């Protein structure tokens, strides 16, 4: 019989129970258990685990782990811990998650494109003022990040008729997307864009990347969408750009501190939409299929799915 697979991390008891049930249903023949309920022998025998941002001390309870499967797509909180071990970290790469993110990107791009942020203000001020229509092909939308989520988002924006630009670390060719890469081409990607959308991982290179000069490259009246990680945006620079009127609106789903502190200026800022980190929540139904495939591949061929590259940081 296969060893028990531990499941642990930053989950409430109901969340943990939900994942144990979903994993058990999706992967018959495997036994999943909460780490806290496993015997010392079961912990010894475990060679891989399912985790959700676990505290480092929990990993030490299973001394023979070869790899772990994260239930989340973003893994920046785990890098420091894993860099000190030989354990491979497999993040969640789920087409279901990418579709959900693409839907969120399209929803908010259309909201901003159709100037709903301005009509919202008009309603608050009892102002009746139709604005000229702008066609999507006359809007430039720049995606920062062309990974699993960025590429799916690009497809939905192209179908909608927007001019789509994308920016990544390495050279990319994506049909319908004007692709830029590397720090030297960031300006060209942002220059004159109407909407900039952040779908980058948080790394030392991307921390604070969206700062005053970068925001200044966007078209006057442009909008920012951050669906990646809060620390990629310089909050003070963003607030100053909104105050100056250069930036018209920001849709923020992620923040330096989450939940967003009650006294944070974003809450009451009329040019900011605050979302509670919901643009692409992990869905157990689609995520479990991905986890099932990775586990079967490992059991059958001892092959571990693509692991996070600790040197590049994502
Ligand atoms: P991914 O597949 O790893 O893609 C990351 C993209 O960013 C790649 O195109 C990569 O370039 C690019 N990139 C990384 N560092 C760069 C740099 N220094 N300069 C230029 N480009 C750089 O990640 P993903 O699955 O698309 O997810 C992206 C992020 O979304 C996650 O890290 C997570 O933080 C966030 N996320 C948010 C939510 C939410 O609900 N808000 C949900 C899931 C994920 P290359 O292609 O050249 O490598």
DSSP of 60-73:
HTSTT--EEEESSS
Rounded Cα–Cα distance for residues 284 and 301 (Å): 25
CA atoms of 282 and 98, how far apart (whole Å): 10
pLDDT in the model for residue 69: 98
Residue 270 and residue 172 in one domain: yes
- Asked if residue 242 and residue 115 are part of one domain, the reply reads yes
Going from the C-alpha of 292 to that of each of 22, 33, 65, 300, the distances in angstroms are 11, 15, 18, 12
Total count of domains within the chain: 2
The whole-number pLDDT of residue 87 equals 96
Q: Active site includes 277?
A: yes
Q: Does any ligand 1 atom lie closer than 6 A to the CB of residue 149?
A: yes
Segments of the chain scoring below 70 in pLDDT? none
Q: Given this model, what pLDDT does residue 228 score? A: 98
Phi, psi of 128 (to 5 degrees): -105, 100
Regarding whether 223 and 172 lie in a shared domain, the answer is yes
Q: How far is the CA of 241 from the centre of ligand 1 (A)?
A: 24
Cα 199 to ligand 1 centroid, rounded to whole Å: 5
94 lines ligand 1 (CB under 6 A): no
CB of 229 closer than 6 A to ligand 1? yes
Q: How high is the pLDDT of residue 157?
A: 98
Domain extent at residue 83: 5-94+282-301
277, 283, 299, 300: which one is catalytic?
Answer: 277
| Together in a domain, 224 and 179 | yes
Mean pLDDT of the chain: 97
Q: Are residues 25 and 137 in the same domain?
A: no
Nearest to 155 by CA among 227, 105, 223, 224: 105
Do 66 and 37 lie in a common domain?
yes
Expressed in angstroms and rounded, the spacing between residue 15 Cα and the centre of ligand 1 is: 26
pLDDT at 1: 86
In this structure, are 214 and 137 located in the same domain?
yes
Q: What is the CATH number of the domain that holds 146?
A: 3.40.50.720
Q: What is the pLDDT of residue 13?
A: 97
Do 244 and 158 belong to one domain? yes
Contact, 92 vs 73, CB < 8 A?
Answer: yes
Specify whether 50 is located in the same domain as 171: no
Assess whether 131 and 264 both reside in one domain: yes
């Amino acid at each position: 019989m296969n060893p028990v697979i531990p499941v642990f991390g930053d989950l409430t008891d109901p969340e943990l129970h939900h994942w144990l049930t979903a994993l058990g249903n999706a992967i018959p023949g495997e036994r999943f258990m909460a780490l806290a309920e496993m015997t010392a022998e079961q912990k010894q025998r475990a060679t891989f685990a399912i985790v959700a941002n676990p505290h480092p001390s929990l990993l030490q309870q299973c001394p023979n782990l070869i790899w772990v499967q994260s239930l989340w797509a973003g893994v920046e909180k785990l890098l420091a811990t894993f860099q000190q071990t030989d354990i491979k970290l497999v993040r969640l790469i789920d087409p279901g998650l990418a579709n959900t993110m693409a839907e969120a990107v399209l929803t908010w791009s259309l909201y901003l494109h159709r100037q709903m942020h301005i009509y919202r203000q008009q309603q608050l001020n009892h102002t009746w003022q139709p604005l000229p229509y702008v066609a999507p092909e006359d809007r430039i939308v720049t995606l920062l990040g062309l990974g699993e989520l960025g590429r799916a988002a690009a497809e939905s924006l192209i179908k909608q008729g927007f001019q789509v630009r994308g920016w990544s670390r390495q050279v990319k060719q994506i049909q319908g997307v004007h692709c830029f890469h590397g720090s030297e081409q960031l300006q060209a990607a942002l220059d004159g864009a109407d909407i900039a959308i952040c779908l980058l991982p948080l790394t030392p290179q991307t921390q604070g990347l969206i700062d005053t000069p970068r925001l200044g490259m966007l078209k006057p009246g442009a909008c920012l969408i951050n669906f990646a990680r809060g620390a990629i945006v310089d909050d003070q620079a963003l607030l100053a750009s909104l105050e100056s009127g250069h930036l018209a609106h920001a849709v923020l789903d992620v923040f330096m501190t989450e939940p967003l502190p009650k006294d944070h200026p974003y809450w009451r800022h009329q040019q900011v939409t605050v979302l509670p980190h919901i643009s692409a929540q992990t869905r157990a139904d689609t995520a479990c299929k991905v986890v099932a495939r990775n586990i079967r591949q490992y059991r059958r061929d001892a092959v571990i799915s693509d692991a996070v590259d600790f040197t590049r940081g994502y």
